Amino acid sequence: MTAAIEATGLGKRYGRRRWALRDCTLSVPAGRVVGLVGANGAGKSTLLHLAVGLLRPTAGGIAVLGAPPAAGPAQLARVSFVAQDAPLYPGLSVADHLRLGRGLNPGWDDGIATDRIDRLGLDRDQPAGRLSGGQRAQLALTLAVAKRPELLILDEPASSLDPLARREFLAGLMEAVADQELTVVLSSHLLGDVERVCDHLVVLDGGRVRLAGDVEDLLAAHHLLTGPRRDVRRLPASQRVVQASHTERQTTLLVRTEEPILDPAWTEAAVGLEDLVLAYMAPETAPEIAEVAG
């Protein structure tokens, strides 16, 4: 199966010096809901804009569903994009936006669009400029899914919304995913959202991939160990320390290993997704790029 997004040595530089993304090599599998996480300025937006062809790479290459981004109308039709803050034309009404979507997309499904607008209770004659943030995001999502893409890309879709609107938005998104068998790639710095909807994770930091893999596998492979203070260099070779902290008597480790922890001196605790991601994003302990197969 072709990857949803396949990047090799991808880089984007603004101006002469500032690299927003550098030497990024990653493969985002199709058929998943992929969370792209990272601190602000990590290069998430840049990567997604490159994937939809709004930006052009400075270095390296990127293929989306096996083809160059925005290569032609057919490729454009396969990918939907909801940009940050859900850009819409403020003077155009909800109905105008639907007409825009219908006119510009041969695969447009009016049933999906009207259905969603009705359920959201949006007034069709209302100009988009007067909609609330949540309604705007929902309208943008409606345009994106009614286009019936194979891949739906969302850039920070819910981060400016209040908690209730955010929950509704994500529910709407998951519904669309279930109905249409979409591949979804969404960027977010809200780990709670990612944990709720994503089954695959890519952690970007400083324009580079720090961690990538299925959420389940990642959680199963990481262990939080607490025990008497000891030298981390004397751990078994199969265990890689992601993060270590020591007190006078005690050592706490975040360890990555495919094998079970056998040493009885450790107390083992489950790792939450948030702790895991933060450990990989923390600059002082950031390990080399790690990948989990699968």
Partner 1 sequence: MIWLTWRQFRTPALVAAAALVIALAFMAVTGSRLAHDYTTLGLSSCAAGHEAQVGTLSCGDLQRKFLGYYPALRLLGPLLLFVPALIGAFWGAPLIARELEAGTQRLAWVQSVTRTRWLGIKLAVIGAVGVGLTALLSLAITWWSGPFDRLNGRMSPEAFAQRGLVPLAYAAFAFALGAAVGAVIHRTLPAMAAALGGFVLVRIGVQWLRPRLVNPLELSYPTFTFMGDEPPGRMASEHGWVLSTRTLDSAGHVLSSGGTVRDDVVIRLCHRNIADITKFDLDACGRELGLHNVVRVIPPDRFWVLQAWEAAIFGGLALVLVGFTFWWVRRRIG
Binding site for partner 1 (CB under 8 A): 49, 52-56, 70, 72-74, 76-77, 79-81, 83, 85, 87-92, 96, 99-101, 103-107, 140, 143, 147
N-term to C-term CA, the chain: 13
CA-nearest of 138, 139, 155 to 99 is 139
Residue 167, C-beta contacts closer than 8 angstroms, at least 6 positions apart: none
The CB-of-262 to partner 1 minimum distance in angstroms stands at: 52
The CB-of-285 to partner 1 minimum distance in angstroms stands at: 35
CA distances to 19, 193, 226, 229, 271 from 265, in Å: 45, 35, 8, 10, 18
- Between 184 and 271, CB nearer to partner 1: 184
The CB-of-94 to partner 1 minimum distance in angstroms stands at: 13
Give the type of residue at 193: D
Residue labelled with tokens 């249409």: 180
- Between 54 and 174, CB nearer to partner 1: 54
Residue 236, C-beta contacts closer than 8 angstroms, at least 6 positions apart: 257, 259
The CB-of-103 to partner 1 minimum distance in angstroms stands at: 5
- Between 79 and 235, CB nearer to partner 1: 79
Identify the burial level of 178 via C-beta atoms within 10 angstroms of its C-beta, where 0-12 means exposed, 13-18 middle and 19 or more buried.
exposed
The CB-of-76 to partner 1 minimum distance in angstroms stands at: 5
The CB-of-86 to partner 1 minimum distance in angstroms stands at: 9
- Between 42 and 82, CB nearer to partner 1: 82
Pairing of strands 183-188, 151-155: parallel
Q: Cα(46)–Cα(48) distance, rounded to whole angstroms?
A: 5
The helix or strand, by DSSP H or E, that contains position 204, with its residue range, turns out to be: strand 200-205
Residues in the chain: 294
CA-nearest of 98, 195, 180, 179 to 140 is 98
Give the type of residue at 11: G
- Between 103 and 260, CB nearer to partner 1: 103
The CB-of-169 to partner 1 minimum distance in angstroms stands at: 17
- Between 24 and 221, CB nearer to partner 1: 24
- Between 76 and 194, CB nearer to partner 1: 76
